[in-house]
Structure 1
């Protein structure tokens, strides 16, 4: 490599991108975005990784991955692994461009026509949720994540903020680029009531099934908010509604507690969007405690590392369910699609459409049609970067909310 640049832009939300260039002028891109900690990974890349890349062989992807992971005493963690992911993805982009092939061809070729995608349907109440479901079905989605407001709570994860809702700490009430992160000097504070949630969620899915029938794949994200026994109860209560998966039922740090959840419910479980390495999954795979892997390419060490994780998962009939909301840039989503098209154990791909401004900066080639995402057939990842468009969107701090219990104000898992 002859140059490496760290690019920070905010076309609707903040993104960190690595651009590598070979002596032949071939350019590769990698996503290094860590939501709410973007400048930390930008500094890690710019100060500690970029100087190590100049002069290295762009073809030596595996050796470079090992050099950045095993060569550093401080391993793992979201910042380190996002930086490694950006380098790894950019090198795969370069290699595929030099080969004149779409990246998935270097990963073994197509295993399917396209990647089944699920969208995010939400509403503050059930009628508003139904409107969102119908709108997503009209857009071509064939699987949907279902999130609703909870009686007694002003705002809830996964539900669009009202233009008039209070968010605290002086933050703007408007969501930015379809996510709960807000541009403000400090995180907004939201209230939470677990008992109200556990009472309400089964009613929501009963209503959705009664209205839309048994065939539509439905997903739900508990967002790490439950204790093991609460998670077991929710999984059991949702069994009659045949969920595609129940996601992140309990904080991911203590993976052993998923044994208790698994003992009590047959609802499929998905976890891992906050995991960074294959080691986070070892016990979950070997004891078959989950059904879907949620790690994105961006936070799990890149295409090289996520391919290893998914190959390991396949031994236990566990499938992919890669994290893909708008805090993953089009570069990261494109990488996930090339991998998803190729691997045998693809399950489903999360897909929230980026803003028009984001697509103007990154110009992705992937396309969504009839519920499926396709990465495109041009050489490499199929994503470019428009410097002029990016310059028009300077970085502005933005944070995900924090969560406090409605009962007494204790800080709770968000």
Structure 2
């Protein structure tokens, strides 16, 4: 039995090639990709990695929790390790993003890519292009043409205006323009409100119904998260009403049990939990299994870091839905592109004409470029079963 012997935490801040304005955080312009990186090492030297968005110092105190809860534990006992993530949540720390590092190690010990360890057989995933910014109609048409030329046959756009007529005009224009050549979906980003830098619209059920009618009229592939995430009854009513599939479920921190309740209520017709937020790899696969039993669809969300993309790719490849559902590929040039998002990987996670080729190496299948990690990252916590080092001076460099 191998046990966790060491853990390290890094804050990473790598430049993007151009400014990026995420539609779901009004008033925000990103110039860098910022995240917290965790590195576990077993007593036999097997390494596991994962990462989660972090603007700055908000995870400064996480190290002591990780050291106390995980060092010395059996690295392959995922259920026990997940229980300890629950212990962190009781104290107000929701950290499902750590669980994929355990799977990284477990799959490396088995000598298999994670999706194969989980029973998956799909070596390639069919993708949809997922835009991340608001665009004027003409610019949106140009973006759709570019993604079509890249090999994608489906693109998800964003809307986030206070005036519902503007949002309806956006989807109607691009869907009509691309009709017969590309399918269009839309993400409304209403399940959560990130208003720290600017106000955001909050849709009512009536507005969501009107938008769903407009989406159905122009043949959209799906409408994503058109209502606030805790409005389960309203979601179920909207999904029953809508002539276009309603999708969502990415950030439900409670994991399987909340998502299972939502599935049985028919809150969505397509469930999109993200393993980094919504319960980790194991619980997301349990959601996929329930979706199959309930006659619903499943495909993960993955807008976060390069780790978010690859972890959820393994989930999708093992979910049983890879033959029938597209997997998300975040792409918003010139700012949000693989070279920026995956800055500390030895190789960015590129698509292949609208497909993603799953890695063949054991574990998650990504390698850390140590030189780039040294350039862009600061280790602020390191612990072994013998000693602990908290390095507050590293945070002095973090804005």
Please, what TM-score do these two structures have when normalized by structure 2? Answer: 0.78
**Match of residue 288, structure 1, among 253, 266, 274:** 266
**What CA deviation, in whole Å up to 9, does each residue of 1:21-65 have, x standing for no partner?**
11121111122x1455x6434533x12123221111112122211
Partner residue, 2:23: none
**Match of residue 320, structure 1, among 280, 288, 298:** 298
How far apart, CA to CA, are the structure 1 residues paired with 2:301 and 2:189?
13
How far apart, CA to CA, are the structure 1 residues paired with 2:177 and 2:43?
59
Partner residue, 1:51: 68
Give the RMSD, CA atoms, in angstroms: 2.5
- Unmatched segments (≥5 aa) in structure 1: 149-156, 158-191, 399-414
Partner residue, 1:361: 344
Q: Give 1:123 shift.
A: 5.7
Q: Give 1:89 shift.
A: 0.9
**CA 1:132 to 1:122, structure 2 compared with 1: closer, same or farther past 3 Å?**
farther
How far apart, CA to CA, are the structure 1 residues paired with 2:367 and 2:232?
38
2:120, 2:320 within 8 Å by CA — same for their partners in 1? no
How far apart, CA to CA, are the structure 1 residues paired with 2:210 and 2:117?
44
Partner residue, 1:125: 136
**CA 1:35 to 1:267, structure 2 compared with 1: closer, same or farther past 3 Å?**
farther
Q: Give 1:239 shift.
A: 0.9
Q: For 1:5-154, what aligned pairs fall within 5 Å after superposition?
A: 5-11=8-14, 12-31=32-51, 33-34=52-53, 36=55, 39-41=57-59, 43-44=61-62, 46-69=63-86, 71=87, 74=90, 79-80=93-94, 83-86=95-98, 88-111=99-122, 113-120=124-131, 124-147=135-158
Partner residue, 1:385: 368
Runs of 4 or more, structure 1, over 4 Å off, are 364-367, 394-398
- Unmatched segments (≥5 aa) in structure 2: 15-31, 191-201, 332-336, 378-394
| Number of aligned positions between the proteins | 342
How far apart, CA to CA, are the structure 2 residues paired with 1:270 and 1:333?
19
Please, what TM-score do these two structures have when normalized by structure 1? Answer: 0.75
Q: For 1:267-286, what aligned pairs fall within 5 Å after superposition?
A: 267-276=244-253, 277-286=255-264
**What CA deviation, in whole Å up to 9, does each residue of 1:51-86 have, x standing for no partner?**
2211111121222112332x45717x7x42xx2431
How far apart, CA to CA, are the structure 2 residues paired with 1:356 and 1:73?
33
**Match of residue 211, structure 2, among 234, 255, 259:** 234
1:330, 1:364 within 8 Å by CA — same for their partners in 2? no
1:115, 1:341 within 8 Å by CA — same for their partners in 2? no
